[in-house]
Structure 1
Amino acid sequence: MSTKELLGQSATRIIELDIEGMTCASCVGRVERKLTKLDGVEASVNLPLESARVTAPEHISDQEIIDTVNKTGYKAHLKPGQRTASPAGSSSESTAAATNPVSESPEGITLHPGDHHSSSAGTLDEKGSNEGARRSAASVLKPRLILAAVLSLPIVVISMIPGAQFPHWGWVAFALALPVVTWSGWPFHRAAAINARHFASTMDTLVSLGVIAAFLFSAWQLFTNPTITAHTGINMGDHSLYFEVAAVLVTFLLLGRYLEARAKARAGDALKALLDLGAKEATVLRDGVEKLIPADQLEKGDVFVVRPGEKLATDGVVIEGNSAIDTSLVTGESVPVEVSAGNAVTGATINTSGRLLVKATRVGSDTTLAQMGRLVSQAQSGKAPIARLADRISAVFVPIVISISVLTFLLWMIFSGDLGSAFTASVTVLVIACPCALGLATPTALMTGTGRGAQLGILIKGPQVLEDTRTVNAILLDKTGTVTSGRLEVTDVTALGDTHAEEVLARAGAVEAASEHPIARAIAEAAKHGAGTELPHVSNFHSAPGGGVRGVVDGAVILAGRPGWLENNDVSIPDDYRAIFTRQQESGATAIYVAQNGRMVGVISLKDTIKENSAAAIAKLKKLGLRPLLLTGDNKEVAQQVAAQVGIAPEDVFADVLPEGKVDAVKRLQEQGLTVAMAGDGVNDAAALAQADLGIAMGSGTDVAIEAADLTIMGNDLNQVAQAIELSRSTLSTIKMNLFWAFAYNTLGIPIAALGLLNPIIAGGAMAASSVLVVLNSLRLRKFGK
């Protein structure tokens, strides 16, 4: 739950439910309406995930929520790992059965979660349970589908091809259709019956009514006139038997449901793959002895060993060793990150070279991977504002369709008197109008888009974010850590007198190597890289905080630091040397003086370098219709130089901005009528991220920044910011496309069916195809960024 939500809903809690038996948008709407009738309860129900995310006040117990869903005609239970709560927050053992139900599912499919244990991924078990449920749904439907297909084929052949008919073929068609309509079609009939007991109707109601009506009408015709098919050569237009319609409807609809179940499972594959990244085992170091244990048994403070090629079992800090860490599985960035003692590392990343000893700082549900899983899961469980229209329509859709079907039958009888045509038209209306595509349009696209984003290191906090990315037209970029690397690098070495630049850097690097200051580390790294060998040994090392360092290298006393500190150590600085120092500072560099045996020998300049892809990323943001603006606490000259290098206009630079002034900068832009996105990575960015219309946290930043943001980029590449906005817009576009075709299908299909221009068999195939096509259209998002 976000910080914003916590501020306004401190007396509420989040409950996540698995719900069995939902098949269409009408089911979703009915469950939501029943839950929201409870005092203070808000609910968002997700059809593909077969789950609900419920916000409830403390005085409403978990059991009351579960009972409300059960009374609606479905079966609910808490997701594994959650404890039930009674009013006043006390634990309630009476609801234990609800967490592992043996239930009657309206779909005729009983699915039970197995025993689950905690894992380093946090939400892996819950997602694994849902994934298994969807796979199980497909496996249960498969034998029913096979039987229906095998028996329907001969029914269609003898009913529609005169040359294949034989005396009394109608009785054979009846015998073959009976198991198809009853056993194969049982999931539809059972769901319709359970819903009817609760005075409700759903897509299954329409399917069941259509199939039963076609079969019973045909059986009545056959039993009242047993010789109706006594002669061969009768085509389907010469009789009133619709056994082939009933059988093929069941087959098509089962095929659609089966393909839908498999496709929905695929839509969740990205999140499952993300959560499966976690290491399964860890080599923990206890009392000096290495011991292999399950990763979920790691405790905070444990020290574990990571050998080359192994995954890090959890988040931690390196306490010994040097290596390069492949973070691509989590951040989406392909370049390995060099780490050594003191560097933070993330669980599920891969150690590519040296042996590391890591101290666990986060375990279980607190890890970065678990947080990623929760953010994606919450986004998938939410509901985009655009989906509310589908919910409102589906709430009244089925009763209206049944009314239209009855009216169609009556009008055909009044104006034509043809019982067969009246029956065919009314059944076709029932079949063509099933609103399953509406229920799948939004959540399948949301599941696929957010899952793909997670694979790319992009976390979308909720469905509302999709709407926000559509309207954003300006993006405020924090300079340090976002546009620039946030790390100082040596950019220039000026040698004075007869000293060589390489010698200046090597001597200064040797002394600085003994210091932990960021400037010292940058100089030491540059010196080591330039020398290509180990740096000379330093003795008599001394560090003065805020001043500089001193040490003896190869018998010479080397000082490196600021001018004032060198003067305090009896080093004379001529005016022309001061001019060099001043020029470097004016260019935006940090300048360090180097002296040897009391004499000035050089100046080393360092800058916070611009990230390699920043200019290309900003060009891409412009192409997406966003106006990039730069925000920094640095002086105007430095800010303008950075802006010029990455392609930001001079008038779009906010310089000399204090941390508390970042919020004011966002507000000023909003007052100008701009819809503002803000990208940042630090604690001092959190308030501005929350103020912005769209907050984007760079994943290298702090938890506070990530919590305040709407989008989180797990990597450090500004290109991912543009990619995140592009993915969000693509997901929203897919949702709109799905909804358009779902609405268009029903809007066009019902009047065509009512006019008798559509055969029930074709209607059944089209209805099943519509659901599958909506899911397949959503699955196109899996290829985003490839």
Structure 2
Amino acid sequence: MAKPLEQWSEEEMKAYRIQGLSCTNCAATFENNVKELPDVQDAKVNFGASKLYVQGNTTIGELEKAGAFENLKIRDEREQKVERKPFWKQKENVNVYISTVILLLSWFLGKQYPEEQLPATIGYAASILIGGYSLFKTGLKNLSRLTFDMKTLMTIAVIGAAFIGEWGEGATVVILFSISEALERYSMDKARKSIETLMDIAPKEAWIRRGMEEMLIHVDDIQVGDIMMVKPGQKLAMDGIVMKGASTLNQAAITGESIPITKTVDDEVFAGTLNEEGFLEVKVTKRVEDTTLSKIIHLVEEAQAERAPSQAFVDTFAKYYTPAIVLLALFIAVLPPLLGGDWSAWIYQGLAVLVVGCPCALVVSTPVAVVTAIGNAARNGVLIKGGIYLEEAGHLKAIAFDKTGTLTKGIPAVTDVVPLGGNERKWLTITAAMEKGSQHPLASAIVRKAEEMGLNMDDVTIEEFQSITGKGIKAKVKNEMYYVGSPGLFEELHGSMDQDRKQGIAELQSQGKTVMVLGTEKEMLMFIAVADEIRKTSKEVIDTLNHRGIETIMLTGDNYRTATAIGKQIGVTNIEANLLPADKWNFVKELRDKHQRVAMVGDGVNDAPALAASTVGIAMGGVGTDTALETADIAFMSDDLKKLPYTIRLSRKALAIIKQNITFALAIKLVALLFVVPGWLTLWIAIIADMGATLLVTLNSLRLLTVKDAS
């Protein structure tokens, strides 16, 4: 048994890009052809990303021979993108033009000389052969193997039309089918452009310094440890760490965020981002195939290969539908004449049924929508790792959120400074000077606040600094002993606390804030309240989800009072506090039992069990975070929570479009088939119905490109 693609090692797998792949049936045929090549052990085609994976040894020439039935062009995965000819100049379309001209001339001859039809018939035959050469080549081969796909059905229909003397209609069917295929190729290429734009984001060359030498080299030759020099206005070619310089970088291509981010020494930077201001020297930390951008492209391409549930249904349906259409056509062509009907008329009707029954529109209804939606999401900084997760996100009934780092920033900040007498700036300067020597997590918040206010902590001389375990710190400033710590520390120091002071502390704590006190052995001088800041977008996002009928739950390890205060501010439906990672996992499982479809939003590291237990695991801030990219089903490349409503909106629209496509594809065929009853179905109507259905479902799917990220 062949190994699944994900189990192939890098040594035994070679990847290629395919140009001209427009239908799932062609993809399956090409895959089988490649598998039959000598020295090829296995092959897999990713239709969505238009890629081929080969296990074994082969050449591009052999692969192109295997794809000659569809005139497929193959190139190495790392080869620069080939500039395509304009749509109207492409070789496969030139035959259509020639065939159309011959058809029109033949029609003119037939009208001008009705008594002499031989020249017109010869013209129609030439038009059929020129326009349908590749169609017949594949169709006859499939027929000899009893493989019934759209080309087989078309081949039978055209040959049958010629057999009963309908040369003109046979030629028209060939041309309309060729036009349909050309437009289908064009539409699929447009849908795949989302990935191609990602591939073109990062430059293919960069200025590198090795030792004392500077050189412009291809990214494939850049090594880890090289120093990359990036001028203002240039894009970064590789991931790395800033060694020298400072600048603002536009990371929109990776994260979807339009606001530039300031980067300085020791900050991480990513390939594909735009350096806006200063000159940077960056130490390369990853090879080109391991950059964050490369991982994004790889994940999106793999996601497009994952079949959505509706696609699995369509593929199974088509498997039985096509043979059923062949039997129905045979039944219509043979049974009525056996009961006294006209053979020629009913054979014609049977051929028309074959044409209208082609499953093109049905088969393409889901994959084009999935490819387009996943590509659109990637351009907006959202990685959806498969069609199944795209669909599931549109069905969500409840979303659980980790608090710290998801609904909040995960960084403590000073929210209130309440002097109880004296000078606020003086007391805060002393507090910050003392906290500079502390290892407590909240100390950095106080120091940052003092820096923001421009206070000079370095002028304060700290003596006899001492940590009071579990309670706070103390130190001598200008011969006065000061204490910074919890309210409980001062109750011990002073024996009791004034009721008004207790009430002030309780009020701050009820808002989910941690209160610290500055004071001496005799009096309290100032309250400082510190809290994990709520993200600006959290309330807006939660309100949007609540209005859409989605239950929102906050999960946190914090105490219930802090959790309640933050949960009420944000507006979540339910609050669950004092939870360990295992408790979060259990709670998400309970939610699944209740709602069936549940998402968990976390940071992808300590929330991994809960993410795995959910229907859809969503990781925040995936840029540069391997864990988030690997553990989550959907990853937001930035810390912007507004990506969540966008993702749900995109998923719901994708679901609606897929349903519309399937319904329309089946309905138009059913209506056309009903034309058989009064004998109204013609080859013209049949091919226009089939072509029209295919084009309309494709264009309908491309509407997903218009779904915008409102953040």
C-alpha contact (below 8 Å) 2:121/2:168 kept by paired residues? no
Q: Is the 8 A contact 2:598 2:614 kept in 1?
A: yes
Calculate the TM-score normalised by the size of structure 2: 0.84
What residue is the counterpart of 1:491 in the other structure? Answer: 415
Q: What amino acid is the match of 2:396?
A: V
Q: Aligned in 2, Cα 1:757/1:379: closer, same or farther, shift over 3 Å?
A: same
Q: Offset of 1:405 from its aligned partner?
A: 2.7
Structure 1 residues 723 and 334 mapped into 2: Cα distance closer, same or farther (>3 Å)? same
Structure 2 equivalent of residue 656 of structure 1: 578
Q: How far is 1:33 from its partner?
A: 9.8
Query: In the superposition, relative to structure 1, how do residues 581 and 293 fare at CA in structure 2: closer, same or farther (>3 Å)?
Result: farther
Deviations 1:520-547 (A, max 9, x none): 554454444444xx95755878998886
Report the 3-state secondary structure (helix = DSSP H, G, I; strand = E; otherwise coil) of the residue aligned with 2:532.
strand
2:174 & 2:295 partners in 1: Cα distance? 43
1:339 aligns with 2:263: yes
Distance 1:562 1:356 in 2: 43
Aligned counterparts of 1:483 and 1:489: Cα–Cα separation in 2: 15
CA contact (8 A) 2:16 2:77 kept: no
Residue correspondence of structure 1 range 595-614 to structure 2 within 5 A: 602-614=526-538
Asked if residue 277 in structure 1 is aligned to residue 201 in structure 2, the reply is yes
Structure 1 contact 274–373 (Cα < 8 Å) conserved: yes
1:193 pairs with 2:116: no
Structure-2 separation of matches of 1:5 and 1:22: 20
What corresponds to 1:696 in structure 2? Answer: 618
Alignment CA distance shift 1:21-1:630 (3 Å): closer
The alignment's C-alpha RMSD in Å is: 4.3
Secondary structure at 2:600's aligned position in 1? strand
Select 1:747's aligned residue among 659, 666, 670. Answer: 670
For this pair of structures, how many residues does the alignment match? 693
Deviation for aligned residue 1:780: 0.5
* Match 1:144 to one of 95, 98, 101: 95
Q: Give the distance between the partners of 1:197 and 1:420, measured in 2 at CA.
A: 25
Superposition pairs of residues 583-622 of structure 1, within 5 angstroms: 584-585=508-509, 587-592=511-516, 602-622=526-546
SS of the aligned residue for 1:684 comes to: coil
Indicate if the aligned counterparts of 1:148 and 1:180 stay in contact, CA closer than 8 A: yes
What amino acid does structure 1 have at the position aligned with 2:368? T
**Structure 1: which amino acid aligns with 2:173?**
L
2:173 matched residue in structure 1: 249
For 2:635, the equivalent position in structure 1 comes to: 712
Taking the aligned partners of 1:779 and 1:488, their CA distance within structure 2 comes to 44
The runs of 5 or more residues in structure 1 that have no matched partner are 52-77, 86-94, 119-124, 219-241
- Give identity over the alignment, percent: 30
* Cα deviation code 1:562-586 (max 9, x no counterpart): 469999xxx9999569856676455
| 3-state DSSP of counterpart to 1:324 | strand
The letter of the residue matching 2:696 is L
CA contact 2:33–2:66 (8 Å) conserved in 1? no
The one-letter code matched in structure 2 to 1:353 is: E
Residues 431 and 484 in structure 2, CA contact (< 8 A), matched pair in contact too: no
Cα distance, 1:418–1:631 mapped onto 2, change above 3 Å: same
Partner of 1:92: none
Give yes or no for contact 1:44–1:381 (8 Å, CA) kept in 2.
no
1:774 aligns with 2:697: yes
Counterpart residue type for residue 726 of structure 1: R
8 A Cα contact 1:317 1:358, kept in partner: yes
Give the C-alpha shift of residue 257 in structure 1.
0.7
Amino acid at match of 2:290: D
Deviation string 1:418-457 (CA, Å, 9 cap, x unpaired) is 3542343232122211111122111101100100111111
CA contact (8 A) 2:483 2:520 kept: no
1:736 is aligned to 659
- Structure-1 separation of matches of 2:413 and 2:586: 31
1:626 corresponds to: 550
Instruction: Name the CA distance, whole Å, in 2 between partners of 1:665 and 1:734.
Output: 33
Matched, 1:181 2:104: no
**Do the aligned residues in 2 keep the contact of 1:426 with 1:754 (CA within 8 Å)?**
no
The answer as to whether partners of 1:135 and 1:265 remain within 8 angstroms in 2 is no
Q: Secondary structure at the residue paired with 1:494?
A: strand
One-letter amino acid of the structure 2 residue matched with residue 147 of structure 1: I
Q: Tell me whether 1:97 sits opposite 2:97 in the alignment.
A: no
- TM superposition shift of 1:97: 2.9
Aligned to 2:73: 111
The residue correspondences of 1:535-684 to structure 2 (distance < 5 A) are 562=485, 575=497, 579=502, 584-585=508-509, 587-592=511-516, 602-649=526-573, 652-672=574-594, 675-684=597-606
What is aligned with 1:71? none
What is the DSSP-based 3-state SS (H/G/I as helix, E as strand, rest coil) of the residue aligned with 2:554? strand
1:463 aligns with 2:387: yes
Cα contact 2:372–2:705 (8 A) shared by 1: yes
Change in Cα spacing, 1:297 to 1:694, as seen in structure 2 (3 Å) is: same
Cα deviation, residue 679, structure 1: 0.5
Opposite residue 255 of structure 1, the aligned amino acid is I
2: CA distance, partners of 1:700 / 1:658: 23
CA contact (8 A) 2:537 2:642 kept: yes
- In structure 1, distance between residues paired with 2:170 and 2:273: 54
Distance 2:33 2:684 in 1: 35
Alignment partner for residue 334 of structure 2, among 405, 410, 414?
A: 410
CA distance in 2, matches of 1:780, 1:212: 37
**Structure 1 position 184, deviation (Å):** 1.6
Distance 2:632 2:13 in 1: 20
Matches within 5 A, 1:345-494: 345-415=269-339, 417-494=341-418
TM-fit CA distance, 1:484: 0.9
- My pick for the range that moved more, 395-404 or 719-728, is 395-404
2:655 aligned partner, one-letter code: L
One-letter code of the match for 2:132?
A: G
For 2:331 and 2:89, locate their aligned partners in 1 and report how far apart those are by CA, in whole Å: 36
Aligned to 2:235: 311
User: Residues 235-278 of structure 1, C-alpha deviation per residue, up to 9 Å, x if partnerless?
Assistant: xxxxxxx3321222122111111111011000001111122222
In structure 2, the gaps of 5 or more residues are: none
**Deviation per CA, 1:197-233, whole angstroms, max 9, x where unpaired?**
4342321112122222323443xxxxxxxxxxxxxxx
Query: What CA distance in whole angstroms lies between the structure 2 residues aligned with 1:631 and 1:20?
Result: 48
- In structure 1, C-alpha distance between the alignment counterparts of 2:91 and 2:439, rounded to whole Å: 62
Change (3 A) 1:672 1:428: closer
